[in-house]
A and B are shown apart, each in its own frame.
Chain A
Amino acid sequence: MENFTPLSAAIGGALIGLSAVLLMLTAGRIAGISGIVDGLIGSAHDKGWRAAFVAGLILAPLAAKLVGFTLPPPRMPGSWLVVILAGLLVGFGSRLGGGCTSGHGVCGVARLSPRSLVATLVFMGTAMVVVAIVRHGLGG
């Protein structure tokens, strides 16, 4: 567990929660990223705040650069096929299930929504199984 960073994790988590609370107190909306993004590509009438939220999300690392923190390009799988397949699965699955890590995992579980509790357990469990198979060749 040498990579465990509980303090920064707690502070960052609190900021994510703060964002969700502020959005509900002001706009009355759930801070679910997949839902916010999906509204931008569909026929939603309220694209303004959605686009602004996405812009804010991208602006954060650019602002961090000003105070000396540069976000490195993330380590991604070498295979384009895996990248494309994963993107398709994340996009399709988050909409079929009605939410992702933020909408179900944070906002839904905070409301003690049974749907969100089930969704969160299922997607975390599935992701853990996939990582076990990919990294440790479980079952193969």
Chain B
Amino acid sequence: MLPLVGLFCGFVFGCGLLVSGMVSPAKVLAFLDVLGAWDPSLAVVMAAALAVTATGFALARRRGRPLLAERCDWPTRSTIDAPLALGAVTFGAGWGLVGLCPGPAVENLATLSPPVLVFVAAMLAGMALHDVWQRRRTAPARAASAAPVEADG
């Protein structure tokens, strides 16, 4: 049942990116290009997504237990630290260079466009590189626990 729900949610997410046009890096770059012919569409996408998500998350918190899992996995970290800021700068630099973030990048795999395939491969390599580096860095401190590094999303 859980994979079916995952499939459906991924599909709806993909439809959202398609309908809003955010699947297109050109459309995203037009938002990021504040000095050019600025297109504020991405801000409207964010506002609409936030309105629905904030309302729905409030409902999820009141309900408590999700339908198909033991509990809701709400992120718990609240400290604003150097990795958060450095990670956001790194991510933002890559996003600005091409106009692709992970969701649209994966969705564009459907076009079988060679530059997209290369971008996604490099993105996976970047993630793997981070995970290996993080494990090495924290291995002595957390030799006893194999818990993965906690993420926000």
A residues with a Cβ closer than 8 A to B are: 1-6, 8-35, 37-38, 41-44, 46, 48-64, 69, 71-77, 80, 82-111, 113-116, 118-120, 122-132, 134-136, 138
Bound complex: CA of A43 vs CA of B134, how far in Å? Answer: 14
B54-90 contacts to A (CB < 8 Å): 54-57, 59-60, 63, 65-75, 77-80, 83-90
Can you identify 27 A-B contacts, CB atoms within 8 angstroms? A4-B39, A5-B41, A9-B20, A13-B20, A13-B45, A15-B19, A22-B5, A22-B9, A35-B153, A41-B127, A56-B13, A57-B13, A60-B18, A83-B119, A86-B119, A88-B126, A89-B90, A93-B90, A94-B87, A97-B85, A99-B152, A101-B95, A106-B50, A110-B53, A114-B78, A116-B152, A134-B97
Q: Are B106 and A54 in contact (CB under 8 A)?
A: yes
Q: Which of A61, A75, A105, A129 meets B96, CB within 8 Å?
A: A129
How many pairs, one residue from A and one from B, have CB atoms within 8 Å of each other in the complex? Answer: 534
Question: Closest CB-CB distance, B75 to chain A, in whole Å?
Answer: 7
Number of interface residues of B (CB under 8 A): 123
Contact of A94 among B46, B97, B127 (CB under 8 A): B127
CA–CA, A43 and B125, complex, Å:
15
A57 near B148: Cβ-Cβ < 8 Å: no
Among B48, B55, B70, B78, the residue within 8 A (CB) of A115 is B78
Q: Which residue of chain B is the closest to A125 with respect to CB atoms?
A: B92
- For B3, the closest partner residue in chain A by CB is A52
A22 CA / B52 CA spacing, docked (Å): 11
Majority SS at the chain A contact face: helix
What is the distance, in angstroms, from B49's C-beta to the closest C-beta of chain A? 4
Q: Are A87 and B90 in contact (CB under 8 A)?
A: no
Q: A71-B110, A89-B91, A91-B122 are in contact. Are A110 and B57 (CB under 8 A)?
A: yes
Given the contacts A26-B66, A27-B6, A16 and B16 also touching, CB distance less than 8 Å = yes
CB-defined contacts of A23 to chain B, threshold 8 Å: 5-6, 9
Task: Check if B87 sits within 8 Å of A95, measured CB to CB.
Answer: yes
B96–A126 touching, CB < 8 Å: yes
A108: B residues at CB distance < 8 A: 75, 152-153
